[in-house]
């Protein structure tokens, strides 16, 4: 070991010294670009959101605690009086009941129809591209056009649906007078517009399922329904979480369809289809009380947040065992 160390020491001075590595400015700029550029690329969205989204949200939170004067652009702090006034109005509870009724009548059939239609489009049928594009056509249509068409279809006297019922010998339905049937008519408009959108989302998730699962199930003798129940639905659970939450948010914020259901846009003569957003619009632009309108908007936000968390907890329990199957 001593002789070897001596030889290494003797040969060490003969080796050329390695020059120190100098990092140039371009190399530093390249490293800086790799670290910072992704944040610069996405920063315009967050800047715009802070200006046109986050600031108005915070501003309405402040206004909700004030008796705001829009003309003078100032207000007086009143605490939670605006919230107490909203919760003490019978119209609010009527609007809340109508909103949940329309939400249930639209969201549940909509999701079931979207799953069924997506499963049909996922099969080997002719003209698949045409049918997949066709289901999205109602979503592209303007909400006002859809509401006008369906409000005429569900007319009390000369509506298309009542004419069909009369031809079949059934009694006519008072779509604009009966609360339940008005909710059914509005929910039909919502289902017409949004079923295709949810169908394409679920169809994309079905396309991502490996086909080997279906081939193995076919070899084992499983039929189409058994494959759908044992393979398709379990694989769709993460996507169903997203679809259910977005449907909840959209269903509780419904505005265009009930407003265009008649020519007045006030939720019916007896508030048969008055929703929270319609009531909010009436307080803000009908009564010109933006403090109460802001308070109602935040109450609606809290309701959507609570319902969304409940949906998230329920659907998470359904997917908790996903990926833990024993071989």
| Angle subtended at Cα 43 by Cα 39 and Cα 46, rounded to the nearest 5 degrees | 130
Closest by Cα among 180, 30, 184, 169 to 106:
184
Q: How far is CA 65 from each of CA 249, 273, 293, 301, 304, rounded to the nearest angstrom?
A: 25, 29, 11, 16, 20
pLDDT in tens, 114-169: 999 998 888 877 878 888 888 888 888 888 888 888 888 898 887 889 999 888 88
> Containing H/E element for 50?
none
pLDDT in tens, 283-314: 988 888 889 999 999 999 999 999 888 877 87
Q: Is 66 in a helix, a strand, or coil?
A: strand
For residue 55, the number of C-alpha atoms closer than 13 Å in the C-beta half-sphere is: 7
- Name the token pair of 139: 């979503």
Average pLDDT, the chain: 83
Q: Which of 195-209, 227-241, 272-286 has the lowest mean pLDDT?
A: 227-241
Q: How far is CA 90 from each of CA 146, 219, 254, rounded to the nearest angstrom?
A: 30, 61, 20
- Name the token pair of 108: 């549940």
In order of their start, the domains of the chain are 82-319 (1.10.3720.10)
Q: What is the mean pLDDT of residues 189-211?
A: 90
């Amino acid at each position: 070991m001593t002789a070897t160390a001596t030889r290494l020491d003797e040969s060490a001075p003969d080796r050329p010294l390695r020059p120190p590595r100098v990092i140039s400015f371009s190399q530093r700029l390249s490293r800086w670009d790799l670290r910072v550029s992704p944040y610069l690329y996405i920063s315009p969205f967050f800047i715009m959101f802070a200006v046109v989204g986050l600031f108005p949200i915070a501003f309405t939170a402040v206004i909700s605690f004030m008796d705001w004067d829009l003309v003078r652009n100032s207000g007086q702090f009143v605490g939670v009086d605006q919230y107490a006034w909203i919760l003490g109005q019978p119209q609010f509870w009527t609007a809340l009941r109508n909103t949940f009724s329309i939400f249930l009548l639209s969201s549940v059939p909509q999701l079931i129809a979207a799953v069924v239609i997506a499963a049909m489009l996922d099969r080997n049928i002719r003209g698949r591209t045409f049918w997949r594009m066709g289901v999205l056509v109602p979503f592209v249509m303007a909400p006002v056009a859809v509401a006008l068409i369906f409000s005429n279809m569900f007319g009390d006297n000369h509506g298309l649906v009542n004419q069909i019922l009369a031809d079949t010998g059934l009694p006519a339905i008072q779509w604009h007078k009966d609360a339940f049937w008005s909710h059914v008519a509005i929910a039909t408009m919502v289902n017409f517009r949004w079923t295709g959108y949810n169908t394409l989302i679920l169809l994309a998730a079905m396309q991502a399922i490996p086909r080997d699962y279906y081939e193995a199930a076919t070899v084992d003798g499983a039929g189409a329904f058994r494959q759908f129940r044992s393979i398709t639905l379990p694989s769709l659970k993460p996507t169903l979480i997203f679809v259910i939450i977005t449907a909840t948010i959209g269903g509780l914020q419904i505005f265009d369809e009930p407003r265009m259901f008649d020519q007045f846009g006030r939720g019916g003569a007896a508030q048969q289809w008055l929703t929270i957003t319609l009531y909010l619009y009436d307080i803000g632009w009908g009564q010109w009380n933006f403090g109460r309108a802001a308070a109602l908007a935040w109450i609606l936000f809290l309701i959507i947040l609570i319902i969304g968390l409940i949906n998230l907890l329920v659907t998470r329990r359904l997917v908790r065992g996903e990926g833990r199957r024993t071989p």
